[in-house]
Amino acid sequence: MNLSSVLLAGILILGCANAMAFDWSKAASDMQNEVTGQAEAEVAQETGTVDQASTQVAVSNNLDFSQGLEPALMSSLGVSEQQAAGGLGSLFGLAKDNLSSEEFGTLAKSVPGMDSLLNAAPSVSQNSSDFSNLLSDSSKALSGAQTLYQQFGELGLSTDQVGNYISVVSQYLDSEAGQATTSLFKKGVSSLL
């Protein structure tokens, strides 16, 4: 074997080794990206599931309302007294805005301390009353829902918790006042459902 043949063989071997190293490196990199992408997708999916689970607490169908609505809400959702009262006041305030005075009167009779609950709802900036008179009923409902979401935010509550509050109130009204009153409440907060 002459020197040029040895050099040519060496160059070929180095070229193949570099090509193989590059291919292995690329393959390893591609595999790592695929695994990382799958792992990130799984984490995102699991995180979404965990986030949903943490914000949408399963509300038991067997709540104890013997102490009243607020204590039942506090124990079932793990919220503070201020959050319970303010959240309830916000919901009932929305219902009051969307029901006739007679309908809301029926609802109010079923909830002891309604006035204090309504007063516990946090104040948030709203449209001027002159402008809100020009809004259609559907626009008013959306505006009312937006106000309620702002109130929940002021209380440190997630908007995802609104459904849990509605569920507890509905169960309370079912047990204390009957289905007709529950239907009035749901009508009053229908823009949230």
pLDDT in tens, the chain (193 residues): 655 554 455 555 555 555 444 454 554 455 444 444 444 444 344 434 333 333 445 566 778 899 999 999 999 999 999 999 999 999 999 999 999 999 999 999 999 999 999 999 999 876 544 445 555 556 666 788 899 999 999 999 999 999 999 999 999 999 999 999 999 999 999 999 8
3-state secondary structure of 58: coil
The predicted pLDDT at position 124 comes to 87
In a domain, residue 61? The reply is no
- The dihedral region occupied by 158, where left means phi > 0, alpha psi between -120 and 50, and beta the remainder, is beta
Q: Are 84 and 156 members of one domain?
A: yes
Q: Are 16 and 87 members of one domain?
A: no
Residue-number span of the structural domain to which 131 is assigned:
69-192
CB atoms within 10 A of CB 192: 19
Give the whole-angstrom CA distance, residue 28 versus residue 129.
65
Give the whole-angstrom CA distance, residue 178 versus residue 101.
19
Q: What is the DSSP letter of 99?
A: S
Question: What six digits make up the tokens of 97?
Answer: 């805005």
Question: What six digits make up the tokens of 153?
Answer: 């935010």
The predicted pLDDT at position 33 comes to 46
Q: What is the number of domains present in the chain?
A: 2
Question: What six digits make up the tokens of 133?
Answer: 């008179």
Q: Are 117 and 176 members of one domain?
A: yes
* Token pair 């503070």: residue: 80
CB atoms within 10 A of CB 7: 10
The predicted pLDDT at position 35 comes to 40
Q: Are 80 and 169 members of one domain?
A: yes
CA 96 from centre of chain: 24
Predicted TM-score (pTM) of the model is 0.66
In a domain, residue 112? The reply is yes
In a domain, residue 125? The reply is yes
Give the whole-angstrom CA distance, residue 92 versus residue 41.
40
In a domain, residue 64? The reply is no
The predicted pLDDT at position 62 comes to 75
